[in-house]
Amino acid sequence: MSRGDSARAFRSARRHSRAVRVMRIAIPLAVILGLTGISLITYFNPLRVLAKLPINMNDLVVSGTKITMEKPRLSGFTKDARSYEFTAEAAAQDLTKPDIVELRNIHAKLEMQDKSVMEMSAVTGIYNTKQEILKLERDIVLTSSGGNKGRLSEATIDVRKGSVVSDQPVELEFLQGILNANRLEVVDSGDLVRFHGGVDMMLMLNDTPLPKSKTGTP
């Protein structure tokens, strides 16, 4: 092998090593940041919002024992001065089941500590305020301003335990590659992230475009 070939091989190996290190860090970070965005929803309680926000009665629909708020919106700052915003097309609560909040077309946005922005959307969600468990379903999409994306079909978030479980296929897309798995488990508030079943990761070491997502586009 010539000196030039050796240099090219060394540079290629170094790029590969760097990419692997980046992926090892980026995968759990992207998941944790995304789940931080998801957990923002658990602060939501429609009755608390009704008490604090100036809204018109036109924003409320009463049907039997169920009260539905149209287009609820929450925004503010976390304790460490990061901005957040939560919106939904509708939020409903049955007065006979005060612990259950039904959410439709959810969107959450949270500023991260590095000033990047994480966004999360889901078609439906059910939050049990007593058990502090949030179940998200249908087209859960996580995106970051840094270019990372995550797609899940469903997720169960246990706020007390700081855990997230998805028993359906998961796809995480990064600038450096794509990871697919059949199951995702996050425990100890993100300290441990596990991927189970059919785990497949593709690393891109150059500017080659990523292949089309298996789960479709958001």
Q: Provide the domain count of the chain.
A: 1
Please write the tens of the pLDDT for every residue from 61-113: 778 888 888 887 777 776 778 787 778 888 888 888 888 888 889 887 877 66
The residue with greater pLDDT, 87 or 44, is 87
The residue with greater pLDDT, 9 or 46, is 9
Residue 208: inside a domain: no
Residue 13: inside a domain: yes
Residue 134: inside a domain: yes
Please write the tens of the pLDDT for every residue from 111-142: 766 777 778 788 998 888 788 787 888 888 87
**Domain residue limits at 192:** 3-203
Residue 159: both structure tokens together: 């706020």
pLDDT reported for residue 182: 92
Residue 215: inside a domain: no
To the question of pTM greater than 0.85 for the whole model, the response is no
Q: Rounded to the nearest 5 degrees, what angle is found at the Cα of 37, between the Cα atoms of 172 and 187? A: 70
Output the domain CATH number for residue 15. 2.60.450.10
What average pLDDT does the chain have? Answer: 70
- CB-based contacts of 192: which residues, under 8 Å, 6+ apart? 186
